[in-house]
Amino acid sequence: MNVDIAPAAEHTGPTRHFSIRLSATTRGARLARHLAAEQLASWGWPYDTEANRTAALLVAELAANAVVHGHVRGRDFRLRLTLHPADATLRIELTDARSDRRPPTPGTLAPAAPEQESGRGLLLVEALSTHWGATGGDPYTKTVWCEVALRSA
């Protein structure tokens, strides 16, 4: 189910959170991927698991989009991970400073032309996640998020 906002009551039980602000640069995007992989490993999904690799790829794609499409000079982006251990679901959120640049709605993504060098990131997000979308929390930011079901470590 891909919607503009995530169903709030869908998850039950305790959650684990990780949040960090990073510079809206390629270095910040790379660091977001590494920190996400490290956090998942500390939560029980080691680096060499499919779940960790998938989550790291999703973070990399969303962080790259935050840097390329959501960059405002002098403003950071925020990575937030929320793990729902009861059903092993990870929510990944990237908040950037460009509320005016929203991605296409889920289910409406057009494939990139073969000769294009970019334009496939959200297609990967849509293919690998169970839900994804974008929300605007305030007039100054937007959050692009996705949820992924983690398999057993």
CATH class of this structure's domain 23-106+122-149: alpha beta
CB 55 within 8 A of CB 93: no
pLDDT mean over 124-128: 86
Angstrom distance (rounded) from CA 66 to CA 22: 11
3-state helix, strand, coil in the chain (%, to 5): 30, 25, 40
Q: How do residues 65-124 score in pLDDT, each as one tens digit?
A: 888 877 678 788 999 999 998 899 999 999 988 777 777 676 776 676 667 665 567 778
SS3 95: strand
41-74 residue pLDDT tens: 999 999 999 999 999 999 999 999 888 877 678 7
136 versus 62: the higher-pLDDT residue is 62
* Model confidence band, residue 137 (pLDDT cutoffs 50, 70, 90): confident
Of the CA atoms within 13 Å of residue 132, those in its CB half-sphere come to 27
Give pLDDT, residue 1: 37
Residue 125 has pLDDT above 50, yes or no: yes
List the chain domain ranges.
23-106+122-149
Q: Global pTM? A: 0.84
Q: What burial letters (b/e) apply to 36-73, b meaning 16+ CB within 10 Å?
A: bbebbeebbbeeebebbebbbbbbbbbbbbbbeebbee
